[in-house]
C-alpha cells in the first residue's frame, strides 16, 4: 500500500479500532459484575481511566478560571452519570441493545440542532428502531420483553450522553486533553462512591484491580487516543458513519464474548438506529468539511461506555 493510500485509510481504521476496542473492553468489564457489581465495575473503569489520562495529559499545566472549572465539573458529572447508568443497564439487557438505546441521545442532539426536513426521516428511523427494542408495540409483542429497569438505565445513559455533548461544546477554550482528563477525574468523584458502596473492600483485591486497569485501558484510554488521532483528519460525515457502527460491533462482541444472542427483530432495531445515525452524519451541515471547527463536534464520543 502506498503512503498516500495509507494516509487516506488509517484515520478511518483508527475510528473502527476505537469502536472495536470499546466493545472488547466493555464485554470484558461485564465479566466483573459477579465479583464487584455494575457500580463497582464502573468505578474501576472510570477511576483508572481518569488516572491514566491525568498522567498522560498532566492537566495542571493549564490554569482554569472559575467559569471553566464549573463547566468542567458539570461535564464530568454528565460523563460519570453516562458511564454509571450504562453499566447498570448492562446488568439486565444485552450489550448491543444498550448501546443502540444510548445512541438516541447524541442522535437527538444532532437532529435538534439541524431541524431540516430530511432530519424527520432519520428521526422516524430511530423511533422505529427504538419501538422494536422497547417492551411496547411491535418489540414487546413479538420478541423477548426486556427488563424495564435495564431500559430505564440505558435511556438515562442516553440523556447523560446528550448532556455530555452539550456541556462539552461549552469547553471550546479548554484544551481537549485537559477537558477529558479533568472531566474523567470529576466523573470518578461521582462514580467511585457508588462502587465503594456496592463492592466495598472487594474493589481492592489485586486481581480485581489488575483486571479493572486492563478494562480502563482498553475501553477508555485506547479508544479516546485513536479517536483524537483520527478526528481532525476525517470529515465529520465519515467520522460519524464509522462511529455509528458501534451498536452492531457491540452486539457482535456481546454474542462472541458474552453469549448474548439477539432476535432478528432486535438486529433490525439496531440496523434502524445505525441507519439514522449514519444518515444524520451524512446530511449534517458542514459534514464534508475537514476544518478543525467542523470536526470538533463528535469529539469524545468514544468515552460514553
- pLDDT tens for the chain, residues 1 to 305: 566 666 668 888 889 999 999 999 999 999 999 999 999 999 999 999 999 999 999 999 989 999 999 999 999 999 999 999 999 999 999 999 999 999 999 999 988 887 788 888 999 999 999 988 875 544 444 445 688 999 999 999 999 999 999 998 888 788 888 888 999 999 999 999 999 999 999 999 999 999 999 999 999 888 887 887 787 678 877 888 888 999 999 999 999 999 999 999 999 999 999 999 999 888 877 655 554 433 333 334 445 55
Whether 204 contacts 279, CB under 8 Å: no
For CA atoms 266, 28, 10, 281, the dihedral sign is positive
Domain boundaries, the chain: 15-303
Whether 178 contacts 63, CB under 8 Å: no
Whether 78 contacts 164, CB under 8 Å: yes
Measure the CA–CA gap between 305 and 299, rounded to whole angstroms. 14
* Stated pTM of the model: 0.89
Widest pairwise Cα distance in the chain: 56
State the alpha helices, DSSP H only, in the chain.
3-30, 33-57, 66-89, 95-102, 104-114, 117-133, 137-142, 148-168, 176-199, 206-216, 222-231, 236-243, 246-258, 264-283, 292-295
Q: What is the distance of C-alpha 149 from the center of its chain?
A: 20
Amino acid at each position: 500500500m502506498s503512503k498516500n493510500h495509507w494516509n487516506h485509510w488509517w484515520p478511518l481504521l483508527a475510528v473502527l479500532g476505537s469502536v472495536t476496542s470499546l466493545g472488547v473492553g466493555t464485554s470484558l468489564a461485564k465479566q466483573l459484575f459477579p465479583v464487584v457489581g455494575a457500580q463497582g465495575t464502573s468505578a474501576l473503569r472510570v477511576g483508572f481511566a481518569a488516572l491514566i489520562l491525568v498522567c498522560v495529559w498532566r492537566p495542571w499545566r493549564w490554569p482554569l478560571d472559575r467559569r471553566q472549572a464549573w463547566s468542567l465539573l458539570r461535564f464530568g458529572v454528565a460523563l460519570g452519570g453516562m458511564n454509571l447508568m450504562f453499566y447498570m443497564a448492562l446488568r439486565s439487557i444485552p450489550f448491543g441493545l444498550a448501546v443502540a438505546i444510548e445512541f438516541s441521545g447524541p442522535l437527538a442532539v444532532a437532529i435538534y440542532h439541524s431541524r431540516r426536513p430530511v432530519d424527520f426521516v432519520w428521526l422516524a428511523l430511530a423511533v422505529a428502531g427504538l419501538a422494536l427494542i422497547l417492551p411496547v408495540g411491535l418489540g414487546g409483542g413479538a420478541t423477548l420483553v426486556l427488563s424495564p429497569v435495564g431500559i430505564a438505565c440505558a435511556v438515562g445513559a442516553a440523556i447523560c450522553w446528550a448532556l455530555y455533548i452539550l456541556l462539552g461544546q461549552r469547553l471550546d477554550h479548554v484544551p481537549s486533553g485537559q477537558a477529558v482528563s479533568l472531566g474523567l477525574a470529576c466523573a470518578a468523584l461521582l462514580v467511585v462512591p457508588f462502587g465503594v458502596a456496592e463492592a466495598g473492600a472487594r474493589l481492592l483485591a489485586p486481581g480485581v484491580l489488575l483486571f479493572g486497569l486492563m478494562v480502563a485501558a482498553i475501553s477508555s484510554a485506547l479508544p479516546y487516543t485513536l479517536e483524537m488521532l483520527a478526528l481532525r483528519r476525517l470529515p465529520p460525515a465519515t467520522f460519524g458513519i464509522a462511529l455509528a457502527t458501534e451498536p452492531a460491533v457491540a452486539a457482535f462482541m456481546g454474542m462472541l464474548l458474552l453469549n448474548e444472542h439477539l432476535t432478528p427483530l432486535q438486529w433490525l432495531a439496531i440496523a434502524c438506529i445505525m441507519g439514522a445515525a449514519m444518515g444524520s452524519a451524512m446530511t449534517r451541515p458542514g459534514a464534508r468539511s475537514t476544518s478543525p471547527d467542523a470536526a470538533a463536534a463528535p469529539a469524545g464520543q468514544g468515552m460514553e461506555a
